[in-house]
Amino acid sequence: MRNITVIGTGYVGLVSGSCFAEVGNRVICCDVDERKINLLQSGVVPIYEPGLEEMVARNKEQGRLHFTTDVGAAIEASDIVYIAVGTPMSETGEADMRYVMSAAKKVGEHLNGYKIIVNKSTVPVGTGELVREVVQANKMAPWATFDVVSNPEFLREGSALSDCMNMDRAVVGSDSFAAAKEIAELHAPFNTRVFMTDLESAEMIKYAANTFLATKISFINAIANICERVGANVSDVAEGMGMDSRIGGKFLQAGIGYGGSCFPKDTYALAHIADKSGYEFELLKSVIRTNQKQRMLVVDKLREALGSLSGKRIAVLGLAFKPNTDDMREAPSLTIVPELIRAGASVRAYDPIASDAASRLLPSEVLYADSVEATVTGCDACVILTEWSEVMSMSLAQVRTLLARPIIIDGRNCFGLEEMEREGFIYHSIGRRPIGAVNDERQSVNF
């Protein structure tokens, strides 16, 4: 059993700390946010992740997981200190390092013996050395020693516990073999491969991996746009591509682009790192531009189906950037819904988890419903932005009856073309031929 402190109880810190506790370590998760710590101490998990609330409760009850706002005391009580604070994107596109540097300063002030300081946050190359300098400059105990390790996270929201408990790989970077070996051994219970390297390479691996996956998404979306123009089906194209072992089928699902806490932030950050180093990373900048344009296809397809959007009633299914999370960071809905309202449309929206979070970010004119059926009733068209199971399993026959016009714009390619044709929909998806023709047989009704 190891004594571990995790600074930061956001998505990465809370999931990582809970999983470390689950495999038998004593973990203190600390944060300066009193509200968040009070919630956790009372058994309320402030983020949505399947299985996390149960894991937190179980490890609290068994005495392995603790929460506190006393960051200094937590540091002093532990041998390994993880820095898992946020690194939000700044106005220039680079990672905002204020919280990491603040955490490093706190570690220095409370260094009371040898500790391994681990960067879990996604940070620019060179941050490990900066952390070392900040800790050293703020040491209150001259005899205290430490090593710095980079151990980037690769968790997918919605499946984070599974990703952590059965890691695909753990990357451990340090100039201290002993410290790297200790962190590698910490990951033994997670059934994973450990890749050990230097600090800078570990930091770059995180950015390189995420931006490569973002590139695959933007690439298949660009292919989808060509498919629509030449009569090909992007679903078949992606399946055929994915059968090539050199390519693989993951992240080749065409849609309205990537969002969330990692890909947008990391692509901008790596582009900034490249610029700062004197390299023009034009490929990555093209990936970013492609993603920005992709989400507006939904609005274009709506206009194609409805003409002017002014006065039209639009049902929006799904608001979070992906299923099984309430994370609204860089969600396509944050671009699409305001655009619909600017165009004069009325919007009624449904998300099984993220409606509360979305209501704080979307225009006040948006109405929220508590079911697919209540959302689509009387609407001129339905837009699918998130492939929730509740959306994938909805009764198409019932939706066809409830809609004022049988129009669905599917930004996630949830349904087969033959099925939608059989059900009598006017159906526009991404990278596939449109189904049906626009007609005005039915008159729309007011909400």
CB atoms within 10 A of CB 120: 21
Percent with pLDDT over 70 in the chain: 98
CB atoms within 10 A of CB 42: 8
- Nearest to 349, CA basis, from 321, 378, 382, 323: 382
pLDDT in tens, 61-102: 999 999 999 999 999 999 999 999 999 888 888 889 999 999
- Nearest to 295, CA basis, from 333, 252, 251: 333
pLDDT in tens, 354-378: 999 999 999 999 999 999 999 999 9
Q: Which CATH architecture has domain 3-197?
A: 3-Layer(aba) Sandwich (3.40)
pLDDT in tens, 327-360: 999 999 999 999 999 999 999 999 999 999 999 9
**What is the third-level CATH fold of 297-428?**
Rossmann fold (3.40.50)
- Would you list which residues are annotated within the binding site for substrate? 154-157, 206, 251-255, 259, 322
In this prediction, residues 219-228 reach a mean pLDDT of 98
For Cα atoms 203, 271, 217, give the angle at the middle one, nearest 5 degrees: 90
pTM to 2 decimal places: 0.91
- Would you list which residues are annotated within the binding site for NAD(+)? 31, 36, 87, 122, 157, 265, 329
Q: What is the secondary structure of 163-214 as a DSSP string? A: HHHT-SEEEEE-S-HHHHHHHHHHTGGG--EEEEE-HHHHHHHHHHHHHHHH
Report the side by side order of strands in the sheet with 367-368: 367-368, 346-350, 313-317, 381-384, 407-410, 426-428
Residue type (1 letter), 424: G
Judge contact between 378 and 445, C-beta under 8 A. yes
Domains 3-197 and 206-294 share a fold: no
Task: Read off the pLDDT band of 445 (50, 70, 90).
Answer: very low
What's the pLDDT score for residue 95? 87
**Superfamily, domain 206-294:** N-(1-d-carboxylethyl)-l-norvaline Dehydrogenase; domain 2 (1.10.1040.10)
Residue type (1 letter), 234: V
Every domain of the chain and the residues it spans: 3-197, 206-294, 297-428
- Would you list which residues are annotated within the binding site? 31, 36, 87, 122, 154-157, 206, 251-255, 259, 265, 322, 329
Residues designated as active site: 262
Judge contact between 358 and 385, C-beta under 8 A. no
- Report the distance separating Cα 439 and Cα 426, nearest Å: 9
